[in-house]
Amino acid sequence: MSNPLPLRLPPDVAVSVQSQFYSGMLLLPPDITDETSIFYKQIKPFDKKNYFRRFSLLFLFAFEPKMSPTKYEMIIVSTDGPVGIIRLNRPDALNALCRQLTTEVLQALKAFDTDRQIGAIVITGSDRAFAAGADIKEMYQKKLSDILNEDVLNWASEISSIRKPIIAAVNGYAFGGGCELAMMCDIIYAGEKAVFGQPEINLGVIPGAGGTQRLVKAVGKSKAMEICLTGNVNLRAQEAYAAGLVSGVYPVDKVFSHAVSVAKKISQQSQPAIAMIKSAINECKSPLHILTIEHY
């Protein structure tokens, strides 16, 4: 049997396959009848929750759905060769995370994730702030029912489902939701003046976008407890590096270019292999890490 890749699917079929993959149930479209279909139908699922774990990742790289250009108001989207770049752009609010901003970030990530010309993604902010937290003004204007109906946590889980590596280039403040957004990325590089913190307790709430779970994985239980429970223990760049939260510290004017340089190196590697490595590493941090070891 010849190599079944590459295979170009119609955009509507490709989107359908993507949706099924992210929901954990990848099924081949019925209109695919060539040897590729036979090849994939012979692959048995590892278990009920991990259908076509490895091969579905390979399969997803076989198509390139076309997406219409999206206009953004709160982010600046660009590319540098094989690197997709997302720059948070709410300077008057220190890039505070409002509903529109998080929606636009997710839209841009999904667009890059389906672009075969893009191998890795960099998210950054300004020199003054990566993102100074959630938009408090927006929160105060909403009722609890409104927040629940919006499913504010959905965007965080969807970012985690992006297959391509995401690098955060952080300068200035990364507080609350900003710190959580950085931790959703696969690699964090910090400028010398970057500061990380989870001050939500000062408002009587908890880190809501997976901040507690991701923070403890990065810095350990004791330090995570101290940061989240006091609300005033912030990690400066070198402290964040020593604690394991960031991968490196660079001059303010160099951190972004370094992140792009690393993203370009990653983009030269096998994209299916990168997706599988990212999935394996992320799952080994979960209670199901034994299953991950068995499957990879």
Q: Which residues are part of the catalytic machinery?
A: 134, 177, 180, 200
Specify whether the CB–CB gap between 176 and 196 falls below 8 A: no
Distances (CA, A) of 236 to 119, 190, 191, 249: 30, 9, 10, 10
Q: How far is CA 205 from the centre of its chain?
A: 24
User: CA–CA separation, 282 vs 188, rounded Å?
Assistant: 15
> What are φ and ψ of residue 215, in 5° steps?
-65, -40
User: CA–CA separation, 41 vs 282, rounded Å?
Assistant: 27
* Tokens, residue 65: 């759905």
Closest CA to 182 of 279, 267, 97, 271: 97
Q: What's 164's DSSP letter? A: S
User: CA–CA separation, 127 vs 192, rounded Å?
Assistant: 10
Residues in the chain: 296
Burial of 52 (0-12, 13-18, 19+ CB in 10 A): buried
The dihedral through the CA atoms of 14, 81, 185, 272 has a sign that is: positive
Q: How far is CA 193 from the centre of its chain?
A: 23
User: CA–CA separation, 51 vs 43, rounded Å?
Assistant: 9
User: CA–CA separation, 239 vs 229, rounded Å?
Assistant: 18
